[in-house]
Amino acid sequence: MNPWHHLSWPLVASVGLAVWGVCDLARAEEGCELGAFGCEHEQNHDQYKGWTDMDGVSCCNGQDCRPVRAQKNDDGYWEIYVPELKGMSQPPNLRLGWVRVPRNMVNAPDRFHDGRSHACTSRPGNPLLPVPIIYCFTPAQPKI
């Protein structure tokens, strides 16, 4: 006798797809490129969930914060690299994947004491909002 006979096929299929989706996300997390949306968020989520912007509004929605590559440009603005946007060029906020961080979104350096820059942004690649909005950013500790 089949031990699963009491379960309906749609339920079994749904559970199977959910498990497959979770496994797929875990694999994506392992091989993700630094700065990609959601990359390494899970490892730092406990720290991100308490992060607020200058107005006290939470930066984290559960997946949008992550370590990022960052640089300060010649104008004195910080920029973060968003791998999903590489190859795109749409001035003024986007230069080959680099997105300018508004000055009011820059927090104190090395907030998480790990020597890396971190940012919370909207999801890149939204057709209605191609350049992600940066909610919070903390640069790495400046190198002397």
**Local structure of residue 87 (DSSP, 8 states):** T
Let me know if residue 45 belongs to a domain.
Answer: yes
Is 103 inside a domain boundary? yes
In a domain, 130, yes or no: yes
Residue positions counted in the chain: 144
pLDDT on residue 54:
84
**Residue 140 and residue 120 in contact, taking contact as beta carbons nearer than 8 Å:** no
In a domain, 13, yes or no: no
Assigned token pair, 140: 């790495």
String of DSSP letters for 18-73: HHHHHHHHHHHHHTPPTTSTTTTHHHHHHHHTT-B-TTS-B--SSSSEEEE-EEE-
Which two structure tokens, joined as six digits, stand for 65? 């914060």
Report yes or no on 20 lying in a domain. no
Quote the pLDDT of residue 11: 38
Instruction: Residue 70: give the domain boundaries.
Output: 34-138
This prediction has a pTM of 0.73
Say if 84 falls within a structural domain. Answer: yes
pLDDT tens digits, 13-57: 333 333 333 333 433 456 788 899 889 988 888 889 889 988 898
Count of domains in the chain?
1
- Both tokens of residue 54? 């200058």
Give the model confidence (pLDDT) of 73-119 as tens digits: 899 999 999 998 876 655 555 567 889 999 999 999 999 999 999 99
